[in-house]
Amino acid sequence: MTELEIAIGMIIDIFARYSGEDGSTQSLTKAELKVLLEKELPGFLQSGKDKDAVDKLLKDLDANGDAEVDFSEFVMFVAALTSACHKYFEQARPK
């Protein structure tokens, strides 16, 4: 498999690892999203217990208004975060 194929598979696996603990395997509840962020992106939340940040992120990601984050919504988050990181590192790179 190529590196990109491996990366895609890892994104799918990470979503599957955290979804379904509290409900559907097709979406992340607020609690599941919080655990995913704490374990997979520990620097993303200012504090591991930052309830307001998780609430805001869930609201921002929840395009269909079902109070959960489905895989498409999760992928949009990963893409936006990846794009922001790319911009940051491009700006930080010496010219």
What's the pLDDT tens digit per position in 45-78? 765 456 688 888 889 999 999 999 999 999 999 9
Domain range 3-92, its CATH number among 3.40.50.280, 1.10.486.10, 1.20.140.10, 1.10.238.10: 1.10.238.10
The structure's pTM equals: 0.83
- The three-state secondary structure class of 84 is helix
Bridge-partner residues for 27, per DSSP? Answer: 70
- The three-state secondary structure class of 28 is strand
